[in-house]
Amino acid sequence: MDGNDGAAVRIALTCAGIDNDIPRLLAVSDEGRLDEQSGENWVVLAGGSVEVINADLTKGAATNLSSPLRSNTGISFMGVIPKGVDLH
């Protein structure tokens, strides 16, 4: 953050990589400021080994690529979905 121009920008950081042929997925778990004079920050990355890193930086099965089961056709119902009325 640069206090001179009033900009306060936060960036989410996720790191993905391979260490000894093992996929690893890390995310920021903690952060802080070293000192007010320098404006430098520190971060702690947490995570670990995963089987697969998906395109959306999630781990495990890529459920976004799944499709509906034909065997479930016609046996479920979404219920009543009101439209045009403010229910809040």
Query: What does each of the 88 residues of the chain score in pLDDT, given as a tens digit?
Result: 445 666 767 676 777 777 788 888 888 888 888 887 877 888 888 888 888 778 777 787 877 788 888 888 888 777 888 777 666 6
Res 2: pLDDT:
47
14-19 sheet: strands from edge to edge: 14-19, 22-33, 41-49
User: Which residue type sits at 64?
Assistant: N
Q: Rg of the chain over CA atoms, in angstroms?
A: 22
Res 49: pLDDT:
83
DSSP conformation class of 72: G
